[in-house]
Chains A and B, each alone.
Chain A
Amino acid sequence: MLITCPYCGPRDVVEFTYQGDGNRERPDPASQNFEAWNAYVYDRLNPAGDHNEIWQHSGGCRAHLRVVRNTLTHEILSVAFMRSTHTSTARRKAEDKS
């Protein structure tokens, strides 16, 4: 499986660490809503098809990426930085190179 890191380019999956289901919403830190916390910590979507996931390019730039992956075909449909500031840095880098 290849994931195209927006910063580093296409890289083998062994360079990445899977960081789980990207659909989870962390409750407000002060929230006492136990159901919401339980869902956040333990519940994971497991679709057969397109899945919204978080991957860290741990063997590269270490950025966390939002990856849409088809769990049946392993096709990677989109990759984006989780943190928007990375996007601007990368864009600047890309512009510098061109």
Chain B
Amino acid sequence: MSPRRADTGGRIDRLKTIRFTFDGAAYTGHAGDTLASALLAKGVTLYGRSFKYHRPRGLLTAGVEEPNALVTVLKGEVREPNIPATMVEIHDGLVAISQNRFPSLAWDINAVNQLGGKILSAGFYYKTFMGPVIGPLKGTRFWMFCEHFIRRAAGLGSAGSAKDPARYERMNAFCDVLVVGSGPAGLMAAKAAADQGARVMLADLEPRFGGSANWSGETIDGAPAADWARRAVAQLEGRDNVRLLPRTTVWGYYDNNTLAALERVSDHKEQPGKGEPRHRYWAIRARSVVLATGAFERPLVFPGNDRPGVMLAHAAERYANEFGVLPGERIAVFTNNDSAYRAAVALKKAGAAVVAIADVRPEPSAEMLKLAAEAEAEIFAGHAVVATEGGNALTGLKLQRFDMANGSLTGDARSIHADCLLMSGGWSPTIHLASQAGAKAEWNAARQAFLPPKPTQQWPTQHWIGAGAFTGSFSTTEAIAEGRAAGLAAAGGTSTPAALPTVEAVPGDPDPAPVFEIRAKGKSFVDFQHDVTAEDVRLAHREGFVSVEHLKRYTTLGMATDQGKSSNVPGLAIMAEALGKPIPEVGTTRFRPPFAPVSIGSLAAERLGDLKPERLTPMHDWHLANGATMYSAGLWYRPMIYGHAGETVEQAYVREAKATRESAGIVDVSTLGKIAVQGPDAAAFLDRVYTNMFSTLAVGKARYGLMLREDGLAFDDGTTWRLGEQDFLMTTTTANAGKVMQHLEYFLDVIWPELKVHVTSVTDEWAGAAIGGPKARQILASCVTGTSVDNATLPFMGIVHGEISGVPVMICRLSFSGEMAFEVYSGAGHGTHVWEALIEAGKPFGLVTYGLEALGTMRIEKGHVTGAEIDGRTTARDLHLDWMLSKKKPFIGSAMMDREGLIASDRLELVGLIALDNRPLNGGAHIVEQLDEANPHGSIGHITACCYSPALGKHIALALVKGGKARHGTRANVSDPLRNRFGPVEIVSNHFFDPDGSRMHG
């Protein structure tokens, strides 16, 4: 007596066996199975434990709305939790595990929570996590300690911590008509639109197109509906104006008909194909959209409606017809509408016994009685299920006479022996996407459902047309007609009469009886995934939560990963009854994206992994070939160190920095932002952009410049070279290159359009090498031709043009390292050639290559600022750069920089720190006056950059400290509780090394 695979039937391939594991046990299934159908075929009834009470749960549905059977899929170390087993296609090697159970699914220790149901009611967290306000535990952390265990007991699957190695892609697509949903309505719409010559995209979240045609058992044009659908899909497949997207969930509907979809490209495969992503994120721009998303069947709310073996009627029908699986041998049906009768007939045909049909309606139609007879089922009109029995699987249920008019139960309960109970509480159209697009749903009393509004009420910028069950038209005949009309309208065609496919279907009234709940003793679940019962909804009402939005938040109804796909309307109906108002007056909440969970990886897509863009300097390959360890700086890759065998990072940078100060070092500076600023007004423009003067700069000279933001805070610094009267080359920091460019463009376009200036980003056109140290000039003298590099020809901040190894170069004498230093620029294509020539020329002089670590070390020794200090909060004064603030002219930021708060005496100012305990300092560590390790407080600033200084033989740092300059020569402490680093420091000037600049001026 358990679910089993039928001998025939279903759209699975019985010749293909697939092996997988669930909770460590090996199972087999067939091609075309989902994890749910394959396990059900093996007699599995228990799939998960419920969120709060840890009740055993089975399959409620067969599709995306499944609230109970959530599993975690393991791929190596990577775990993906909370996937409905109904949406997992099995493949060889699939490993899935159940969730929220300990120690095992069948025997779960927290199932004891079921006994505490009164305590774990709505608002449990709000009421519980207040902490004791009296007694011995008052004010202690005891409650936080308890919270840990309570939170662990409630929950879903847990996320893993392993890095996801899968590849994700983003695709932009454009079409005339996007059809969402591939049931009969969607297929007809796609065909009609394609016939008009429109570019059509058809997306369905299932692997098989056809929607209900795959399991309805109906006949279309004389063939089984599934075959009709397959032929329709084959015809669409052959057309070059149609793109089919199976396994694709359209999850978001945004402005201007932009829709977001997730295609699960290779989840169903053991290994993705070469270059194939796991998921593909589609951004689809559609001229018009046909929503043919169907409807979700609703559960009925009655005691024990969550017991494994109780499932939605259509789900059982689908398991039987589409997967060839019987969810039980002795099946009972409980319904408030006609659609469940068709399911009863289908299961009878598939080989199960239908023992009873309980219908809340006193007089089912003659047609339904005929169907009941066909299913050989005993019919109980005007009856309701009041209890279910069994543990991890259903064994039976109890029926009682039910009066629809007042909800009363009378007479003796009658027991029925059954291993599967199908329930149907009517249908709710899947209006999520329309709701996202701004459509206000309208309550339809006949259908007992929220329907999308008629087209006249559409949001002005959205252009969707509905078709089929989405609009509340639940019959296939209507779906076909509406689908064709929608497709034609979407493609801009006019509706012409045409012969439509004929449908032979089981009769049925689409309108259910307005019955949502059977009130009897026991837990009746509304939201299965969040364990919200009908009583919780009423409790929320009693406690004053009368707005539907408050109800939702207080009870968490509809807030689980299924977003209330099956629970929203029953929950509202129960709330409406408690309030004594009609359902439309209680209102519904608006649906928001995503329709179904979306992988974060797909949203990041090209920003991760091998699709992430990279910026490489012209000398990149040389660095790799010469032992550089690379470091990513934004999109750039830069050498961190050129380590020797056996060297630590610190040993390497100390060696590099030391050698540079002793003889000479060379570093790749190609990443610096470079902007050509040209035109008759270029000098005047720079005077406005920089705090200091540039119009007075002589041609052939460079000057260090500082930019402020409009609000008076420091923005960026760099040198700008005057190459001609109207021709400047501006350099920016690597990180700010884009921002500075945008800043300049903004002012030229928006503020000063009268200025005749053109700015061009030339970062990638130039390769740059900075060579510095006592021997730097000798090295250049030995390899530069066409110009002298002596002090007279090339003074500090001078620029000369010459050649190195036959390549034209531009050399500017400026220094970041504090040494006599030069920046050598050549065309990017010659970068490596010039670099190699410099290396060769430097050999006799002991020239070393150095990376970012040594660069940083030397700049800290010199007290130069970078982005760590120009952090968007500091002013020029804070950084002791006020000598650069010209008083002769206004500049960007000059009007705002003297505001009270920006000139206060207790601002954080740049200082140097020396560790007095001779131990390394940490970036980000706080500075305090008095050390208190147990209770760290009283921060007077923080470290922005730190290193071991080979020039000083000490651990030093730059820091921003309150009233910093006044503290020079005093002591303070670093307080870094996260890294447990405490100790004394001396506050000194940020110019640690060669403060007079005698080395760089030579």
A2 touches B750 (CB 8 A): no
Q: For residues 712 through 762 of chain B, which have their beta carbon under 8 Å from a beta carbon of chain A?
A: 742, 745-746, 748-751, 753
Q: How many A-B residue contacts, CB cutoff 8 Å?
A: 59
- The verdict on A85 contacting B753 (CB below 8 Å), with A1-B255, A2-B256 known, is yes
Interface residues on A, range: 20 to 34
Nearest chain B CB to A95 CB, angstrom units: 22
- The verdict on A74 contacting B688 (CB below 8 Å), with A64-B745, A64-B746, A83-B749 known, is no
Q: How far is the CA of A74 from the CA of B461 in the complex (A)?
A: 8
Q: For residues 1 through 40 of chain A, which have their beta carbon under 8 Å from a beta carbon of chain B?
A: 1-2, 12, 17, 19, 26-27, 29-32, 34, 37-38, 40
- Cβ-neighbour of A37 out of B461, B750, B896 (below 8 A): B896
Residues on B with C-beta less than 8 A from A30 are 890
Q: How far is the CA of A23 from the CA of B751 in the complex (A)?
A: 12
Residues on A with C-beta less than 8 A from B748 are 83
Which of B172, B460, B895 has the most C-beta atoms of chain A within 10 angstroms of its own C-beta? B895
Which of A30, A62, A64 has the most C-beta atoms of chain B within 10 angstroms of its own C-beta? A64
1/0 per position for B281-311, CB-CB distance to A under 8 A? Answer: 0000100000000000000000000000000
Residues on A with C-beta less than 8 A from B237 are none
Nearest chain B CB to A28 CB, angstrom units: 9
> Residue of A at shortest CB range from B890?
A29
Task: Decide if A79 is an interface residue (CB 8 Å cutoff).
Answer: no
Residues on B with C-beta less than 8 A from A82 are 749-750, 753
1/0 per position for B490-510, CB-CB distance to A under 8 A? Answer: 000000000000000000000
B256 touches A29 (CB 8 A): no
A74 touches B256 (CB 8 A): yes
Task: Decide if A98 is an interface residue (CB 8 Å cutoff).
Answer: no
Q: How far is the CA of A56 from the CA of B741 in the complex (A)?
A: 12
Q: How far is the CA of A48 from the CA of B896 in the complex (A)?
A: 30
- Cβ-neighbour of A19 out of B710, B750, B890, B895 (below 8 A): B750
> Residue of A at shortest CB range from B459?
A73
1/0 per position for B877-896, CB-CB distance to A under 8 A? Answer: 00000000000001100111
> Residue of A at shortest CB range from B711?
A41
B750 touches A64 (CB 8 A): yes
B746 touches A56 (CB 8 A): yes
- The verdict on A74 contacting B895 (CB below 8 Å), with A56-B745, A85-B753 known, is no
Q: How far is the CA of A75 from the CA of B258 in the complex (A)?
A: 14
Nearest chain A CB to B104 CB, angstrom units: 48
Residues on A with C-beta less than 8 A from B895 are 27, 29, 31-32, 34, 37
> Residue of B at shortest CB range from A1?
B255
Residues on A with C-beta less than 8 A from B742 are 17, 56, 58
Q: For residues 253 through 277 of chain B, which have their beta carbon under 8 Å from a beta carbon of chain A?
A: 255-256, 258
Residues on B with C-beta less than 8 A from A41 are 710-711, 896
Task: Decide if A67 is an interface residue (CB 8 Å cutoff).
Answer: no
Nearest chain B CB to A74 CB, angstrom units: 4
Residues on B with C-beta less than 8 A from A63 are 749
Residues on A with C-beta less than 8 A from B891 are 29
Q: How far is the CA of A40 from the CA of B156 in the complex (A)?
A: 50
> Residue of A at shortest CB range from B749?
A64
1/0 per position for A34-57, CB-CB distance to B under 8 A? Answer: 100110111000000000001010
Q: How far is the CA of A14 from the CA of B894 in the complex (A)?
A: 33
Nearest chain B CB to A35 CB, angstrom units: 11
1/0 per position for B37-51, CB-CB distance to A under 8 A? Answer: 000000000000000
B461 touches A19 (CB 8 A): no
A74 touches B896 (CB 8 A): no
Q: How far is the CA of A42 from the CA of B899 in the complex (A)?
A: 14
1/0 per position for B849-871, CB-CB distance to A under 8 A? Answer: 00000000000000000000000
Residues on A with C-beta less than 8 A from B258 are 1, 12
Nearest chain A CB to B485 CB, angstrom units: 27
Q: How far is the CA of A27 from the CA of B895 in the complex (A)?
A: 10
- The verdict on A1 contacting B753 (CB below 8 Å), with A19-B746, A41-B711 known, is no
Residue contacts A-B, CB under 8 angstroms, 18 given? A12-B172, A12-B258, A26-B751, A29-B890, A38-B896, A41-B710, A42-B711, A54-B750, A56-B742, A56-B746, A58-B742, A64-B745, A73-B459, A73-B461, A74-B256, A82-B749, A83-B750, A84-B753
Known: A12-B172, A74-B255. 12 other contacts (CB 8 A): A32-B895, A41-B896, A56-B746, A58-B742, A63-B749, A64-B750, A73-B459, A73-B460, A74-B256, A75-B461, A83-B753, A86-B749
